[in-house]
């Protein structure tokens, strides 16, 4: 088991799993509190559409992923803030369109659909050093934003009018959140897979919310739960030779189930 960790691809995988395991749950707390999980899943799928297109035209697929994800985030934000369409409905509109695109791109690029599938289900052992550095940059960015804006975010989640009366730029914070989410989801997609990122974001977040405490406390806890679950899942996958991302999600689910049993209130 431990000789695995001497191999560079396992070292990269280890770091990628750990960083995604913290990042996704941190964003997950905000997603759960803002009732935004469906839209989060949608962003992941839209990012996947971008990945397939860029695989087809032969440019770095993550670039396609982040461009598409950002596009859908900004569109959703526009629908929310200027057209009065809530985020879930907004995603319902954008989601189908981008997924249809992805299907068409995939059918055009038969040679690449294997690689496309790895973005769908995660392929942590093919993560490159560049992917890891990218993840690290995103990780640091998110920590800085959370530290700088946690009070604004807290007020916004408590009540929008209250936040705005306190001088919080609600539109700006919502845009920042959606942009961050697009970046985080794309950055974690290679390791965790477009279909599985949502689970990694939501389950530790809901567990941490059950453990109670203050807002900052819950965000930190969700990161800790996520880090623990993802590492445990990764190691398990090495031991029993199963796909890492899927194993991580199953372990995370088990932890989630345990927390739900222990904290029934």
Partner 1 sequence: MQPIVANDLTIGYGKKTIASGINFVLEKNDLIVIIGPNGAGKTTLIKTILGIIPPLSGYVEVLGCPAKHVCPHRKRIGYVPQIGRVPKDFPATLLDVVLSGLYPHKERFSKIGKEEKLLAMRAISEMGLSKKINEQFGKLSGGQQKRGLVARALIGHPDALFFDEPTSGVDVAAASDFRKKIIELKEKEGIPILIVTHDVNPYIPYLTKILVIGRGKVRVGGIELLRDIEFLKSVYGESIKVLEIEGKFYLLSGDFHDV
**Which stretches of the chain bind partner 1, using CB under 8 A?**
29, 33, 147-148, 151-152, 154-155, 157-159, 161-162, 164-167, 209-210, 212-215, 217-218
CB 168 within 8 A of CB 152: yes
Nearer to partner 1, 213 or 239 (CB): 213
Nearer to partner 1, 202 or 246 (CB): 202
Nearer to partner 1, 144 or 257 (CB): 144
CB 131 within 8 A of CB 62: yes
CB 163 within 8 A of CB 156: yes
Nearest distance, CB of residue 185 and partner 1, angstroms: 22
Copy the structure tokens of residue 230.
């993802």
d(CA 178, CA 43): 9
d(CA 148, CA 49): 32
Nearer to partner 1, 161 or 241 (CB): 161
Nearest distance, CB of residue 174 and partner 1, angstroms: 15
d(CA 46, CA 94): 8
**Helix then strand then coil, % of the chain, to nearest 5:** 85, 0, 15
Nearer to partner 1, 1 or 147 (CB): 147
Nearest distance, CB of residue 136 and partner 1, angstroms: 23
d(CA 209, CA 189): 24
d(CA 46, CA 42): 6
Nearest distance, CB of residue 165 and partner 1, angstroms: 5
Nearer to partner 1, 155 or 180 (CB): 155
Nearer to partner 1, 201 or 251 (CB): 201
Nearest distance, CB of residue 151 and partner 1, angstroms: 5
DSSP state letters, 110-135: GGGHHHHHHHHH--GGG--HHHHHHH
For residue 202, report the phi and psi dihedrals to the nearest 5 degrees.
-85, -40
Nearest distance, CB of residue 29 and partner 1, angstroms: 8
Nearest distance, CB of residue 33 and partner 1, angstroms: 7
């Amino acid at each position: 088991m431990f000789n695995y960790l001497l191999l560079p691809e396992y070292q990269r995988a280890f770091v990628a799993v750990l960083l995604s395991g913290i990042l996704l749950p941190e964003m997950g707390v905000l997603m759960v509190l803002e009732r935004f999980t469906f839209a989060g899943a949608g962003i992941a799928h839209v990012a996947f559409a971008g990945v397939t297109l860029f695989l087809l035209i032969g440019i770095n697929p993550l670039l396609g992923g982040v461009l598409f994800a950002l596009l859908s985030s900004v569109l959703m934000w526009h629908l929310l803030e200027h057209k009065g369409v809530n985020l879930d409905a907004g995603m319902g509109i954008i989601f189908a369109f981008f997924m249809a695109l992805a299907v068409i791109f995939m059918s055009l690029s038969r040679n690449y659909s294997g690689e496309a599938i790895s973005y769908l289900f995660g392929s942590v052992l093919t993560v490159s050093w560049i992917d890891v550095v990218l993840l690290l940059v995103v990780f640091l960015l998110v920590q800085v934003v959370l530290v700088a804006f946690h009070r604004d975010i807290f007020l916004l989640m408590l009540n929008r009018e209250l936040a705005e009366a306190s001088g919080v730029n609600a539109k700006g914070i919502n845009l920042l959140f959606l942009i961050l989410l697009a970046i985080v989801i794309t950055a974690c997609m290679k390791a965790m897979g477009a279909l599985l990122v949502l689970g990694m974001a939501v389950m530790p977040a809901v567990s941490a919310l059950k453990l109670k405490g203050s807002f900052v406390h819950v965000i930190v806890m969700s990161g800790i739960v996520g880090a623990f679950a993802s590492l445990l899942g990764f190691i398990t996958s090495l031991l029993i030779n199963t796909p890492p991302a899927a194993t991580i999600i199953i372990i995370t689910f088990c932890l989630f189930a345990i927390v739900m049993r222990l904290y029934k209130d």
